[in-house]
Each structure stands twice: as structure tokens, then as C-alpha cells.
Copies of this chain bind each other. A is one copy, B any other.
Amino acid sequence: MATLTGVQKGYILHWGEMGTRWGINRTVAQIHALLYLSPRALPAEEIAETLSVARSNVSTSIRELEGWGIVRAVHVLGDRREHYESMKDVWEMFRLVIEQRKRREIDPTREMLRRSLEELDPKEAGAEFTRERLAAMAGFFDAVTELHDQMKRLPTGTVRKLLRMGTKVRKK
């Protein structure tokens, strides 16, 4: 079992807290942090020991991380166990997570708003007001989606480059 340095512990704990604030399970986030900092792929058993959580808990959490596509199992010669490693590219990691959270949360919300606007009964009292509010919210989510789609079309690394250059648009 790898013993952790103070810095590593700090990072793992912070990442775990950060996860909970964004609706991601603490253990899931901690495991990701551990793998991210690990120079080699780790077997589930070792992860469980290092973080002091149940082996079964690691199993479930790893599954979640594999679901996001940011952790994968690799095999080590002469070892039957699965070893897990985190993706290295930070930008790609966040891109994956954002893309999927959009699909799981933003898209259904747009769908709900669209359906609500359809179902609105104009004869109902205050329908006009409700429509306006729903439309405003829907407009926002449409814009977010458009922004997301446009970024997806950019070649890898472009956002990074654009940021490094700084945008030219400034307050008039």
C-alpha cells in the first residue's frame, strides 16, 4: 500500500469535499484524486486500504468513474487483478464530465421546459405570465446548449490557446 505524503492527502481530501459540493460522491472523488496523483495503476484492494474504505465501496465507485470515461482498467503482467488508472489530460477529463452532465441534466431540463410550454393551457389564469417565465428560462438553456455545441466544434486545444491569447473583446 502506497503511503501518502501530506500534500497528497490534502489534495485527496479537498477533492472529495469539492465533489460533494457538485453532487459527486465523496469517495468517488477521492478515488479519482488518488488515481490522478498515482504514477502507476492501482488495484482496487490497494485503493481501499489507502483511503480506508470498504473494498465493495471501491468497486462501485470505480464503476462510476469508468462510466464517466475518466478511469480505466489496465492489466499488469503476472497479476490477475484489475489495475485502475486515471486519464492524464485535465482538459479532456473536464470536457467529458461537462459533456455528460449536460446530457444528463441540461438536456432533460430543456425537454421539460419545451413540454411545459406546449402543455400550457392559454385559458388558464396567468398562463401568459407563466409562458413568459418558462420561455425566458428555455432561452437561457438553449443558449448554454449552443455555446456548448460551438465549443465542441473547436479543434482540441483551441479553447486553451484562445485563453492564452486573451480575447480582444473589451468594454466599450
Contact = CB atoms under 8 A, between A and B. Distances in A.
Contact of A39 (B23, B88, B94, B126): B126
A79 interface: no
A4 to B, nearest CB: 10
Interface residues of A, number: 55
Contacts of A124: 5
Contacts of A154: 169, 171
Contacts of A105: 18, 21-22
A77 interface: no
In the complex this chain forms, how many copies of it are found?
2
Interface string A1-38: 00001111011001000101111000000000000110
B14 A109 contact: yes
A98 B107 CA distance: 19
Interface in A114-172: 116, 119-121, 124, 126, 129-130, 133-134, 136-137, 139-140, 143, 146-147, 150, 153-155, 158, 160, 162-163, 166-167, 169-172
In the complex, the 7 A-B pairs of residues with the closest C-beta atoms, listed nearest first:
A90-B140, A21-B23, A39-B129, A7-B116, A143-B163, A14-B112, A90-B136
